[in-house]
Amino acid sequence: MHKGLEGVYVLESSLCLIDTEHGKLYYVGYDVEELAEKSSYEEVSYLLLNGRLPRRSEFEGFLTKLRSEMELTPEEKRDVQYAAKRTGPMDALAAFYLFASKDPPQAKDQMEHAIKAVAKAGSVLGNTIRVQRGEEPIESQPELGIAGNLIYLVTSKRPEQYQVEFLDDILILHAEHGVPASTFGAVVTASTLSDVYSSIVTGLMTLKGPLHGGAAEAAYYQFVEIGDPDRVESWLERTLAEKRRVMGFGHRVYKIYDPRAKYVKAMAARAAELAGGRVKTLYEIAVRLEQAAIEKLSSRGLFPNVDFWTPIVYTAIGIPPGYFTAVFAVSRVVGWVAHVLEYWKDNRLIRPLHLYTGPEPGQRYVPIEARG
Give the residue numbers annotated as catalytic, written as ranges. Answer: 251, 307
Looking at residue 104, what is its pLDDT? Answer: 58
Q: Which 3 state secondary structure label does DSSP give 31?
A: strand
Confidence class for position 299, pLDDT limits 50, 70, 90 = confident
318-326: average pLDDT? 96
Q: Based on the fold, state whether residues 243 and 198 are members of the same structural domain.
A: no
Looking at residue 1, what is its pLDDT? Answer: 77
**Residue 121, domain extent:** 14-210+320-344
Flag whether 366 is in a domain. no
Q: Domain boundary residue among 298, 317, 336?
A: 317
Flag whether 6 is in a domain. no
Q: Which 3 state secondary structure label does DSSP give 5?
A: helix
CATH number of the structural domain spanning residue 258: 1.10.230.10
> What is the rounded average pLDDT for all residues in the chain?
94
Confidence class for position 21, pLDDT limits 50, 70, 90 = confident
Instruction: Return the closest-CA partner of residue 204 out of 75, 27, 345, 331.
Output: 331
The residues pairing with 24 across neighbouring beta strands, listed in sequence order, are: 19
Percent of the chain exceeding pLDDT 90 equals 86
Q: Classify strands 16-19 and 24-27 as parallel, antiparallel or unpaired.
A: antiparallel
d(CA 86, CA 265): 36
Angstrom CA distances, 266 to 37, 201, 314, 329, 331, stand at 12, 33, 14, 23, 20
Q: Based on the fold, state whether residues 195 and 236 are members of the same structural domain.
A: no
Flag whether 87 is in a domain. yes
Looking at residue 188, what is its pLDDT? Answer: 98
Q: Is the pLDDT confidence value at 107 over 60?
A: no
28-45: pLDDT as tens digits: 999 999 999 999 999 999
Flag whether 368 is in a domain. no
d(CA 280, CA 273): 7
Looking at residue 103, what is its pLDDT? Answer: 65
Q: Based on the fold, state whether residues 133 and 246 are members of the same structural domain.
A: no
Q: Based on the fold, state whether residues 159 and 233 are members of the same structural domain.
A: no
Confidence class for position 248, pLDDT limits 50, 70, 90 = confident
Burial of 366 (C-beta count, 10 Å sphere; 0-12/13-18/19+): exposed
Q: Based on the fold, state whether residues 81 and 180 are members of the same structural domain.
A: yes
* Count: domains in the chain: 2
Q: Is the four-CA dihedral 28, 31, 32, 37 of positive or negative sign?
A: negative
Looking at residue 319, what is its pLDDT? Answer: 96
Flag whether 86 is in a domain. yes
d(CA 338, CA 343): 9
Q: Based on the fold, state whether residues 29 and 107 are members of the same structural domain.
A: yes
CATH number of the structural domain spanning residue 163: 1.10.580.10
Looking at residue 360, what is its pLDDT? Answer: 97
DSSP E strand stretches across the chain = 16-19, 24-27, 30-31
Confidence class for position 142, pLDDT limits 50, 70, 90 = very high
d(CA 129, CA 151): 11
The residues pairing with 27 across neighbouring beta strands, listed in sequence order, are: 16, 30
Q: Based on the fold, state whether residues 234 and 310 are members of the same structural domain.
A: yes
Q: Based on the fold, state whether residues 119 and 18 are members of the same structural domain.
A: yes
Looking at residue 4, what is its pLDDT? Answer: 83
Q: Based on the fold, state whether residues 201 and 91 are members of the same structural domain.
A: yes
Q: Are 342 and 110 spatial neighbours (Cβ–Cβ below 8 Å)?
A: no
Q: Is the pLDDT confidence value at 251 over 90?
A: no
| 326 vs 372: which has the higher pLDDT | 326
Flag whether 353 is in a domain. no
Percent of the chain exceeding pLDDT 70 equals 97
| Length of the chain counted residue by residue | 372
Q: Is the pLDDT confidence value at 106 over 80?
A: no
Q: Are 287 and 120 spatial neighbours (Cβ–Cβ below 8 Å)?
A: no
Looking at residue 273, what is its pLDDT? Answer: 96
* Residue 351, C-beta contacts closer than 8 angstroms, at least 6 positions apart: none
Looking at residue 322, what is its pLDDT? Answer: 94
Looking at residue 108, what is its pLDDT? Answer: 62
Could you tell me the pTM of the whole model? 0.94
Rg for the chain (alpha carbons), in Å?
22
Confidence class for position 212, pLDDT limits 50, 70, 90 = confident
The two counts, helices (H) then strands (E), for the chain are 16, 3
Q: Based on the fold, state whether residues 81 and 219 are members of the same structural domain.
A: no
Helix axes of 306-317 and 277-297: crossing angle, nearest 10 degrees: 180
Q: Based on the fold, state whether residues 239 and 302 are members of the same structural domain.
A: yes
Flag whether 365 is in a domain. no
Q: Is the four-CA dihedral 202, 203, 206, 208 of positive or negative sign?
A: negative
Flag whether 57 is in a domain. yes
Looking at residue 266, what is its pLDDT? Answer: 96
Least confident of 211-215, 327-331, 339-343, 347-351: 211-215
* Residue 183, C-beta contacts closer than 8 angstroms, at least 6 positions apart: 177, 203, 332, 335, 336, 339
Q: Is the pLDDT confidence value at 252 over 80?
A: no
Q: Based on the fold, state whether residues 23 and 158 are members of the same structural domain.
A: yes
d(CA 332, CA 45): 10
